[in-house]
Amino acid sequence: VSLRLSGRIDRAALHGALHDVMVRHESLRTVFPERDGVPFQRVVAAEHAWVGIPVTETDETALDRAL
Residue 45 lies in a domain: yes
Residue 67 lies in a domain: no
Rounded CA separation 16/10 (Å): 10
Residue 47 lies in a domain: yes
9-49 pLDDT tens trace:
888 898 888 889 999 999 999 999 999 999 999 999 988 87
Rounded CA separation 21/14 (Å): 11
Decide: 4 and 57 in contact? Cβ < 8 Å: no
Which range of residues forms the domain containing residue 39? 11-53
pTM beyond 0.85: the answer is: no
Residue 41 lies in a domain: yes
38-64 pLDDT tens trace:
999 999 998 887 777 777 888 888 888
Rounded CA separation 36/22 (Å): 29
Give how many domains the chain has, as a whole number. 1
